[in-house]
Structure 1
Amino acid sequence: MINYPFLKDDMTIGVTAPSSGVPVELHDLLKTACIRMENKGFRVICGETAWTQDKAKSASAIKRAEEFHHMMANDDIDIIIPPWGGELLIEILEYIDFSNIQPKWVLGYSDVSLLLLAITLTTGIATAHGTNLVDLRGEYFDDTTAMWQSVLSLKKGESIVQHSSDHYQKEWQFDSPSPYVFNFTEKTKWQSTSVERVKIQGRLLGGCIDTIRHLIGTKFGDVQSFQETHIQGESIIWYLENCELSTTDLRRSLVQMKLAGWFNNCSGILFGRSAANTSVGNYTIEDVYQELSEELQIPIIYDIDCGHVPPQITFINGAYAELESYNSKGTIVQHFI
């Protein structure tokens, strides 16, 4: 059984940096995001780690874990949203007491997805893969990003529909943000390894493959136990996004996941858009998707709204999903059951 947190309207946001904090020269980004959220009627509590960054991390692993635990235990905090991702979140896992994780939403992506997946696999508590706090600093949210609050406000037993975006951002223009932060210039086109309409259903799990692959072989990445204990053997839909891996490194990582049994009883795989999907020799990203689809005998949908090429659909680890892709468009229905 999946335990779904519930987000009330007058929420208090806890901001902590379990991976990277915000360096001094970029503090205005975080300050603006906090002000925007407060203007929308939310209260914001920032931890010390959100404002510090040195040696590729916000603070020591122990301090990051302690601050995360403090916000988890604080009844006045309703949701935890890190400022952004980073590089070394994995250092804190051994200091996290997963037996004391509360049913409280944690929202983010990139390196934060490592913590999200570990929480859901270990405890059965749903976690939210989607926007980070700094990307909520605009005057308003684009239609896709804006769904994060509606999704997290869902009650157990309810369902919600999200659609593929109309356009996406190809490149970051940090010196020229739009009123909703992003600059959407490219037409969104969901694609698949099949030319036909694709329909899949199952429990959602996923994140940034650069980081979540490192859970393989640890007690925090026991997918088989999660399947047996929390979803009673139901099939899984994996959603994955590649931040920096070469095409061949991505292939190696996917094969490792397959050999580790992560794709057992998998009904389909979703891949987010990626700027890292460049060919190695004449080995293309399409080759990777096609080979994996044929090996696992499942459909693969790619270039979806997930990850480092925004905007992002809000995916809930543990939720039961029905997904359909046809004619470059996609729809996902998530059920909190």
Structure 2
Amino acid sequence: MQRREALATLGAAGLAIGLPLPAPAAPATRKPPRLRAGDRVALVSPAGIYSDPFDFQLVTEAITAMGLVPVPGPHWKDRFGYLAGTDQGRAADINAAFADPAIRAIFAVRGGWGSARALPFLDWKTIAANPKLLVGFSDITALHLAIQARAGFATIHGPTAGSSWTKYSYAAFRDLVFDAKLPLYRNLPGDQDRLVQKEGRFQTLRPGKATGRLLGGNLTVLTSLVGTPWLPDFSGAILFIEDTDEAPYRIDRMLTQLGQAGVLRKVAGVVFGQCTNCKPSDGSTSLFTLGEVLRQHLEPLNVPIYTGAMFGHIDDQFSLPVGCRAEIDADAGTIRLLEAPVA
């Protein structure tokens, strides 16, 4: 099932309607611990189901290859429709991982849809008191942003445990969370057999440099949090967004909502990553292109903006610490981290 089809069933999330929302937690004053060989890390499924035993074996082998000890959550085999168990069950695994002092970090096994449904069931007092790295992207955006709104420590927008973990992606992740380095991210150069490279390119929409904390993730998920208690304040932030399988008119609709909700006018800069397979569904060339949509909504912001950065639904991707300060250079197409996400 495509994410947009699953989003159409949002009414099913009425299971959580009527629950008292947690009071905002005070921002954490401690950073999550850096990872070291031998650390135990939790594997959780906040969203879509991941039931094939062999595929899950590959996940545990990838985590083991990092020198870490995978600890699957009790509910990883559960199934509730297209979700990996009930909202309460998925939240219970996340709560247990944050509460367990033996667990050093938490990896989402996959994305899909469903993380937002679990947010009202999370123990935000315990989460805020126990900063730990949460790792994943796509639908995990809901957890990243909610943690910024409710707990205030850094998390990692990077591959899920079930991603391919290429040499590049793993090196970027290791530099950040094992070694606490401050990398300068720029796209890998293309190696196509052609005079002018097309792969690895970026485009500058507005020149200049900007500094702010990194906030963002998947555009569809981010937009779905507008009007909820789970969206952090974007004042002075560097907004980074990506998506997949969305026609330009849907990107147009979502950016319109972010603009009219006042989110876009608050940011200090924007980096648009990869929008995989974001083409008109009917193949028409008479409609707005993705590039035209981005220019219409982003250029009027008058802040540094570039597109094409290496994050999103791709194999080789940056690991971006959500909530940490960074500097973007829209002319050079770079993101320079200014603080480490780990202690």
Given the two structures, how large is their TM-score scaled by the length of structure 1?
Answer: 0.82
| Deviations 1:91-115 (CA, angstroms, capped at 9, x unpaired) | 1111112222120000000111111
Contact 1:293 1:299 in 2 (8 A): no
Following superposition, the deviation at residue 167 of structure 1 comes to 4.8
Q: Report the secondary structure of 2:264's partner residue.
A: coil
Following superposition, the deviation at residue 246 of structure 1 comes to 1.9
The question of 1:89 aligning with 2:101 is answered no
1:182-331 equivalences in 2 (<5 Å): 187-194=199-206, 198-223=208-233, 227=235, 235-279=236-280, 281-326=286-331, 329-331=333-335
| Deviations 1:230-258 (CA, angstroms, capped at 9, x unpaired) | xxxxx111000112322112111112112
The question of 1:114 aligning with 2:139 is answered no
Which stretch of structure 1 is more off in the superposition, 272-281 or 251-260? Answer: 272-281
Q: Report the secondary structure of 1:120's partner residue.
A: helix
Superposed CA RMSD: 2.5
Q: Counterparts of 1:211 and 1:191 in 2: how far apart (Å)? A: 24
Q: Residues 29 and 164 of structure 1: is their aligned pair in 2 closer, same or farther, counting only changes over 3 Å?
A: same
The question of 1:332 aligning with 2:336 is answered yes
Q: Counterparts of 1:296 and 1:109 in 2: how far apart (Å)? A: 26
Q: Residues 294 and 321 of structure 1: is their aligned pair in 2 closer, same or farther, counting only changes over 3 Å?
A: same
Q: Residues 146 and 71 of structure 1: is their aligned pair in 2 closer, same or farther, counting only changes over 3 Å?
A: same
Contact 2:182 2:336 in 1 (8 A): no
Contact 2:205 2:299 in 1 (8 A): no
Which stretch of structure 1 is more off in the superposition, 116-125 or 256-265? Answer: 256-265
Contact 1:128 1:317 in 2 (8 A): yes
Q: Counterparts of 1:136 and 1:242 in 2: how far apart (Å)? A: 18
The question of 1:66 aligning with 2:71 is answered no
Q: Report the secondary structure of 2:118's partner residue.
A: helix
Following superposition, the deviation at residue 14 of structure 1 comes to 0.5
Given the two structures, how large is their TM-score scaled by the length of structure 2?
Answer: 0.80
Mind listing any 5+ residue stretches in structure 2 that lack a counterpart? Answer: 1-26, 192-196
Following superposition, the deviation at residue 326 of structure 1 comes to 4.1
Q: Which residue of 2 aligns with 1:178?
A: none
Q: Counterparts of 2:315 and 2:83 in 1: how far apart (Å)? A: 24
Contact 1:20 1:57 in 2 (8 A): yes
Q: Counterparts of 1:131 and 1:124 in 2: how far apart (Å)? A: 21
Mind listing any 5+ residue stretches in structure 1 that lack a counterpart? Answer: 169-184, 228-234
The runs of at least 4 consecutive aligned structure 1 residues that moved more than 6 Å come to none
Q: Residues 56 and 334 of structure 1: is their aligned pair in 2 closer, same or farther, counting only changes over 3 Å?
A: farther
Q: Which residue of 1 aligns with 2:6?
A: none
Q: Which residue of 2 aligns with 1:159?
A: 182
Q: Counterparts of 1:299 and 1:162 in 2: how far apart (Å)? A: 16
Instruction: Report the identity percentage.
Output: 21
The letter of the residue matching 1:273 is Q
